[in-house]
Structure 1
């Protein structure tokens, strides 16, 4: 009985990963699950990385969980922001859909938050040869 259950679970895992690969690249094991970022204070955000086009941001919390936050429209100053701010509904301590992230003078309204892996690594620029 235990062996049949183990085989069934392995088959289910293989089918799930195959369907995830067909849907497109996903950055982490929990990617795509809707989420809120709980207990959001200054010390609870470890780091953030913006997408190059300003359509979203990866946020890592103090427990090293990654989230991908997508906006309703582009957040133009986010890719160059050194820091970001948060405004939640009614002073809540969690970040959720409809809340706002501030980057420079931009106010970016959150369309969705999903569990994610770390942001994809950016390609490194080729070095120019010396003397050229």
Structure 2
């Protein structure tokens, strides 16, 4: 598949209720922290980035990771993984994108906005959420 067959769209990951004071970042294509942010009082954090979609749908881009033939996801790095050596946490959130509704993809591909994926940033134990984190909602923003 050539890049000409792909359409660029924008994604935004919003982390609601992140643990205050903990650094979060996207994971870059070379596995380093990208765009680190910290919530001082638990206010939401947002990460915007482009991805490319092709028929199927198939997903491509610097932040897109793959697992198996279909699963595609984005990592959010947390604590030491995000670049804060003093943090007690070294974690990553895995946020699936392969199952985004086709209607949202079509709307974004037609120039209709950003697909916003919202997740909860705090686990049931009060520490930063990690591993696969299910979206609270997905919408066009």
Higher strand residue share: 2
Higher helix residue share: 1
TM-score by length of structure 2 reads 0.28
Larger radius of gyration: 1
